[in-house]
Amino acid sequence: MATVDEQLRQLLETFSQELSERVRSMTAQLLRLERQDGDRDEILESLFREAHSLKGAARAVHLDRIEQLTHALEEALAEARRRAQHPDGRWFDRAYAALDTIGALMAETRGERAVPDEQYQATVQGLLSAATGDELRVTGDGLRLSGDAYLSTGGRGDGRPDSAHSSPITHPSPRSSPATHHPSPVPRHPSQETIRVAVSKLDALLAQVAQLNVTKIRVEQRLQELRRLRAEIANWRREWREMRALGGKLERRRRTAPPGSEAARQLDQILGMLRSSEARLVSVDQQVELLARRLAPDINQLGTISRDLEEEIKNARLLPVATIFAPFDRMVRDLARDKHKEIRLALEGNETELDRKLLESIRDPLMHMLRNAVDHGIEPPDQRVAAGKPRSGSIRLSAEQRGGVVVIEMEDDGAGIDPDKVRAAAVAKGLLSAEQAGQLGDRQAVELIFRPGFSTAQAVSNTSGRGVGLDVVRQRLDGLNGTVDVVSRPGRGTHFIVTLPLTLATMRAVLAQLGEELYAVPTVIMERTGRARSDHLLSVEGRRAILVEGHPVPVVALASILERPAAMVGAPGILPGGVDRVSYFVLRHGERRVAFLVDRLVDEQEIVVKALAPPLVRVRNVAGATILGSGVVAMILNPADLLKSAGRSAASPAAPAAPRRAAEVPRKRILVADDSVTTRTLEKNILEAAGYVVRLARDGEEALAALAEEPVDAVLSDVDMPRMNGHELTRRIRASEAWRHLPVVLVTSLGSDDDRRRGMEAGADAYIVKSAFDQDNLLDTLRRVV
């Protein structure tokens, strides 16, 4: 019967999850026990409870081998509890092996590799000898050692031997529901109720929310259309008013027309129509205005809700890094034992949360790096003592969220990486000439370990250590829009720094425009964006560079990197005539910074990442695609690729040389008044990037005080501010003798005509509505008035 099969399948699935949780928890507790971290009896008691619960559950789903193995583990734990001294390394090896075999037995039920009977028997025997404390007895018939039938296949555990533990044991019938089989007195999640949800369900929800966002943007466009409609009606009403004079003439004609005549009747009709049309026009205008006014808050609310919803769903997809960090503890322990080294692994920031898929993808790279640290980083105990270090080495693995990224650091106190050995190896491997290698600074030399091809250098992995597969690690992180950097302090240790975006399914990106095309550039390694006058473009030894905060940064045209038509701005040589301003973004990785020229930077937004479709598998410089609010597809660029491509087309960092600058123009000063720190900062950044000197004020009164202190060339002010608003500020400026002619630009979220009129009446020179606020608009407006 299919339904029974289905039930059994579900039951097994539930058991499998319980098993992996218990195995994980027991591993962690064994590690604590081995490190003697905590109360020995308490840990043993807890381990025993977990083993016992697992045994009951295994019995319920008829997994005899798991049940018997768990029982043997129980015995070994009971014995350990009985003994006075701490269990030895061998005891732990056997306990760990038992947990491994339990996991393997579970995998076997899922159709994965079968567990060889010898392995199973050896594990059970190992545990039993640990339990009896007698190594010699594990020679003959190990299965019978305890003299009990429970290890024979027919046993249900009813004849379990009387061991020293005293916890009450229940023997429920195998047919009852598994829930009743969990005698576990310790709730696994004491504080939070949880349910399991398939990730695919969360993904589906996320896709729905993305669609909701698209809908929201569409509705916003409807509002814009409504506003345009109002403008249209306003024009119409103006024309209508002009018609009034004509209407007056008709009225006069009506009065002179013979009463009752055909002409009089027609004129009556026309005049009646004119009057009622005007009244209806006014009414339509009012209704449209009302509609727009009511729609705006609805849209805001829709935006808030969809944003919150998206945030919540993304949070639901996050898992603490502990889920991948925890097994590292055991891995490092085993590896170190294997290499006869003493190593302590400290895990920090276990609770830091990351997207599940990201977590899975970084598990292997992190394991790789840890293995390297154990193999080559930490020295053998004698060597460490000789070097004046503590016998036991330490590795610190930490995770921490910093803004929109998670930073994972791995630091060891081993030998570090010797730059000279790396240089030598790179030369030997033919990656560099001896001369080139000699020119590299120590930091740059150490960076060579990430180079493809370097990793295979066998000589290096034996002498300086590291390098094994680190190019793969970097590649993997590139694929996740992350980075990995290394700092080595020879003799004192190595420090790896990995950065990752919080989530993978969506990311923040800046939309860059080239001609009519839009490209999404992830902001993960974007250092800044800006606009510059074309005379800030320098030529340094034949290469182009741009001054960013006074430093020359190599510059390339995004269009030429993307192999787009040369007609697009800046590609590949000199700016086309007439273009006096360029937009750019700067990507930075390690010491390397490159500015990419684009036509325009449109917007920064959250985008949903989609994969490229067949027959596209991997495309140079492209990480994926996204659907913009308009429904159009935009390519998501791969920042790491862009940097590499730029390296190929341009060259290494610009050598210091005397920059040729156009004659210095005295810089204009702008006073910015706004009560929102975000807006102030945003405006300040835009203006400074465009070459203005900016002063800030928090409201009208502060602005007036600042004006009194220092003259400026223009004022850019918010309208709604505490103490003194923008209109009042404008009036005061106009009223004063000294600043009467000072240009004032008002920036506001209030977009109504009435508001605009009041602003103009107060004497403002220009008015920018925040909804239409972008840097081009702002800069163009300022250029007009200053």
**What are the residues binding other proteins (CB under 8 A)?**
207, 211, 517-519, 562-564, 610-622, 625, 627, 631-635, 641, 644-645, 648
In the complex, minimum distance from the CB of residue 364 to other proteins, in angstroms, rounded to a whole number: 19
| Complex with other proteins: residue 640 or 744, whichever CB lies closer | 640
What amino acid occupies position 547?
L
Q: Which residue lies nearer to other proteins by CB, 474 or 732? A: 474
Angle CA(362)–CA(364)–CA(366) in degrees, nearest 5?
A: 65
SS (H, E, C) 170-211: CCCCCCCCHHHHCCCCCCCCCCCCCCCCCHHHHHHHHHHHHH
CB of 582 to other proteins, least distance (A): 20
Q: In angstroms, what CA-CA distances link 562 with 170, 514, 566, 573, 642?
A: 69, 10, 10, 15, 9
Q: How far is the CB of 615 from other proteins (least distance, A)?
A: 4
Q: How far apart are CA 448 and CA 486, in angstroms?
A: 10
Between 4 and 613, name the residue whose CB sits nearer to other proteins. Answer: 613
Calculate the alpha carbon distances from 304 to 48, 298, 603, 771 in Å: 50, 10, 19, 16
Q: Tell me how far apart the alpha carbons of residues 449 and 422 are, in angstroms, rounded to a whole number.
A: 7
Rounded to the nearest whole angstrom, what is the least distance from the CB of residue 776 to other proteins in the complex?
A: 23
3-state SS class at 742: coil
Contact status, residue 116 vs residue 62, Cβ threshold 8 Å:
no
Give one DSSP letter per residue of 453-517, joined into a string: TTTT-HHHHHHT---TTHHHHHHHHHHTT-EEEEEEETTTEEEEEEEEES-SSEEEEEEEEETTE
Minimal distance, residue 642 CB to other proteins, in Å: 9
β-strand pairing of 669-673 with 714-718: parallel
Rounded least distance, CB 474 to other proteins, Å: 13
Give the integer Cα–Cα distance in Å for 381 and 392. 6
Nearer of residues 420 and 563 to other proteins, judged by Cβ: 563
- Residue closer to other proteins (CB basis): 247 or 647: 647
Name the phi and psi angles at 716, rounded to 5: -120, 115
Structure-block tokens of residue 19 = 């098993």
CB of 641 to other proteins, least distance (A): 5
Within 10 Å of residue 363's Cβ, how many Cβ atoms?
A: 16
* Token pair recorded at residue 90: 């061998």
How many residues in the chain?
Answer: 786
Alpha helices (runs of H) in 61-179, residue ranges in sequence order: 64-82, 89-109, 117-132
Closest approach of Cβ 216 to other proteins, in Å?
16
Whether the CB-CB separation of 353 and 320 falls below 8 Å is answered with yes
Pairing of strands 537-540, 493-501: unpaired
CA proximity to 237, closest of 285, 167, 197: 285
Closer of 633 and 677 to other proteins (Cβ): 633
Closest approach of other proteins to the CB of residue 446, in Å: 22
* Nearest-approach distance from CB 634 to other proteins, in angstroms: 6
Structure tokens at 451: 């180079």
Residue 438 vs 453, nearer CB to other proteins? 453
The span from the CA of 90 to the CA of 308, in Å, is: 53
Instruction: Provide, rounded to whole angstroms, the least separation between the CB of residue 614 and other proteins.
Output: 5
Given the complex with other proteins, which of 212 and 326 has the nearer CB atom?
A: 212
**Residue nearer to other proteins on the CB measure, 106 or 609:** 609
Contacts of 13 (CB under 8 A, 6+ apart): none
Q: Which is nearer to other proteins, 121 or 208 (CB)?
A: 208
Q: Which of 277, 275, 253, 276 is nearest to 265 (CA)?
A: 253
CB of 636 to other proteins, least distance (A): 11
Shortest Å distance, C-beta 633 to other proteins: 4
Q: Which is nearer to other proteins, 260 or 615 (CB)?
A: 615
Q: Is 447 left (phi over 0), alpha (psi -120 to 50) or beta?
A: alpha
Which is closer to other proteins, CB of 623 or CB of 744? 623
Q: Pick between residue 204 and residue 231 the one whose CB is nearest to other proteins.
A: 204
